[in-house]
Structure 1
Amino acid sequence: MPARTEIGMEAGLGEVLTVASRDVGAVEETWRQFVPSAALQRVNPRTFGFSWTSAATPGFSVVRYRLSASVQSAIDPVDQLMACRVVSRGGWVGTPRGDLNASLPWAAIDGPTTARWQQRADVRALVFDRALAEHEARRMTGDDRLSLGSATVGSAPISRGLAAHWERVFYHVAGAMFASESDSELIEVELRRHALHTTLAAFSPEFAFSLDRSAQRRSAPRSVRRAIAYIEAHAREAITIDDIAQASDISTRGLQYAFRRALDITPTEYLRRERLAGAHAELQRGSAAPVSDIARRWGFASASRFAKHYRDAYGRSPRETLRGDAR
């Protein structure tokens, strides 16, 4: 007797799809509407069952499903950013760079991610069109240079607190998308923006830095804004505080005072933060160079001091980032 599949379309924000099936092929076909690279592997058909709900709007989808089976699945998003949480006993999530913490959400962009579980899993995912997400991220931050890729979006969340916030926002967005009977483009846009902001805040330190820089530029006096622009353009070079002050047309002492008054940090601290961000991006790309070489390239003569500043900024060691280790 062939497996039975029930498919429904419901009113809501965007196109709401529900699927109930015991057919493995129907599951893959459904998933691939949202993530074309999705594939199920090592499925036990005797225990297989599938319950799916999703809502899709232009450039953004919310997905929630339950899969009853021992399964291994794989995705390799192209032109997409996906954030996902798999809730299951004995679950495992990994990338070619290392295992992730399966008890936390994870993000996939620029590379394959594989998950497996036993008996049953509840899966929650936010899927964004990458070009649209990048455009919106630039508008949020005011940073036209911000790009979304594996160098700026990590697989693991920045902290457990941000991971928990991502899950709360997922339920809020999913509830609104699935249950609403109105057809409001404004609500759709706001929900998508909220979901993207939360996802990038959870997985992209560069997004947070760009937001912070944007706020600082708006409130800082002109001399400080000039100094910030010079630091960002020359962070990898052997510049000094005197160089920054000269480029900002202000004395070194005056620059120190202006930074303290406007930003409550010193120019040296701002320069160090920019250099840490550059080193972080290089580590996330999986550089073949030793951590000590990367530290020196970004102006840190002491590997131990670099590691301390890095851990303070990112909550993990440089080597953990280079290996792609879960938090």
Structure 2
Amino acid sequence: MTDQVAVADTDTGNPDGTILRTRLVTRTRDTAVARNALQHTFQIRSLDVTGSNDFLFEETLTGTSLLTLESTSCTGTIRGDVDASAAIIVVWLKAGHAVVGGQQLPVGRPVLYAPGVQQVQWDRFQKDVMRIDRELVEQVAADRGGWEPRPLEFKPNHVPDGAPLAAWWLMVRAVAAEILGTTGEVSLERERELARTAAAGLLTAIPHWPVGRRSEQAPATPLGQAETFILDHIGDHITLDDVATAAGMSQRGLQAAFQRAHGTTPMTYLRGVRLLMARQQLESGTATSVSDVARAVGITHLGRFSGAYRDAFGELPGETFRSAARYDN
């Protein structure tokens, strides 16, 4: 097999208001090449990459200094000490086994790397990673929380579930489609908007607070209150006016705030979260029926639900339900 490595340049903003989005691709059966790729991707020490005759390492890294997506699979074992101080790093294991900072990662759930150095071990795995500029995340948190920008603490070892998890996947789907679709010179302003959207999804999914406070507090800003109201009332019939009233905002102001933070409207955001929550429940193998799942997440029109679900995921909800039931049995 021929190793294919595209070397990415350093991402910096240009005078013409653009930033370079690069893609680095590595596919190799050589553990030394895999080690070099990982050292380019992470700040990592004591790195050890081992494998048997079937060793295969594949990695695609796409993004800028503000926001990066990485997808990696490996049939071997990777160990080392990762320094996550420079960026906010979120990982979700898709298959295999992994331990990060002493925490065994669940499959299919985003987990945040703690800041600083931590030991990692990955065994015969597939995973995705998102990196977001740390200062940008701190600024977005301050805007949402009503405090001055400062370093953040996140709830240790938190694994999102329910509506916050669905909100995370809604963000990932939106951001990944644009990042993976275009490389080269892109608008710096648009890249910042994407990174802020990613930060908002992260902050929705994982409890956090500024360093110096003891725990998470209720959102102090109208946007944060609107987001909390939506996620707390996923199963209820709520309107745009309900959300605006809960946030103390006009409908127009709420629409504008959501567009800036999430790149969409509040009701489109609500529908997207509901669809993803429905998919989570249908894939779990524990659902009793498609209609029960739809009602549980606040969807009352099953015909429209089926069409929207097929548009979003490429199959009808009944197909997901039957597939999960067969797998569970």
TM-score (norm 2): 0.54
Listed as ranges, the matches of 1:26-65 within 5 Å are 26-37=33-44, 40-41=47-48, 43-65=50-72
**Which amino acid in the other structure matches residue 134 of structure 1?**
E
- Structure 2 contact 225–246 (Cα < 8 Å) conserved: no
- One-letter amino acid of the counterpart of residue 179, structure 2: M
Q: What is the Cα deviation at residue 50 of structure 1?
A: 1.9
More strand by share: 2
1:54: Cα distance to partner?
1.6
Name structure 2 gaps, 5 residues minimum.
Answer: 9-18, 227-244, 249-329
Shift of 1:73: 5.4
Q: Given that residues 49 and 76 in structure 2 are in contact (C-alpha distance below 8 angstroms), is that contact kept between their aligned partners in structure 1?
A: no
**Residue aligning to 2:142:** 138
What amino acid is aligned across from residue 133 of structure 2 in structure 1?
D
How far apart are residue 174 of structure 1 and its match?
A: 2.3
Aligned length: 215
- Per-residue deviation at 1:168? 4.2
> Partner amino acid for 1:186?
E
Instruction: Give the direction of change, closer, same or farther, for the CA distance of 1:41–1:170 in structure 2 (3 Å limit).
Output: farther
Correspondence list, 1:109-188, <5 A = 109-110=114-115, 111-118=117-124, 121-144=125-148, 146-149=150-153, 152-180=154-182, 183-188=186-191
Aligned Cα RMSD in Å? 3.8
Match of 2:197 among 194, 197, 207: 194
Query: Is this contact kept in 1: 2:50–2:77, CA < 8 A?
Result: yes
Task: Summarize deviations over 1:91-131 as a string: whole Å, max 9, x none.
Answer: 232424x544344221112241524323xx22111112323
The equivalent of 1:5 in structure 2 is: 3
Answering whether residue 110 of structure 2 is matched by residue 105 of structure 1, we say yes
Provide the C-alpha distance between the structure 2 equivalents of 1:95 and 1:192, rounded to a whole number of angstroms.
Answer: 26
Identity %: 15
Q: Which runs of 4+ in 1 moved over 3 A?
A: 38-42, 70-74, 98-103, 139-142, 205-211, 216-219, 261-264
TM-score (norm 1): 0.54
What is aligned with 2:236? none
Of 24, 29, 41, the residue aligned with 1:22 is 29
Larger radius of gyration: 1
1:39 Cα shift? 6.1
Residues 1:80 and 2:110 are matched in the alignment: no
How far did residue 17 of structure 1 move? 1.9
Shift of 1:188: 1.3
Q: Give yes or no for contact 1:156–1:203 (8 Å, CA) kept in 2.
A: yes
Give the conservation status (yes or no) of the 8 Å contact 1:155–1:203. no
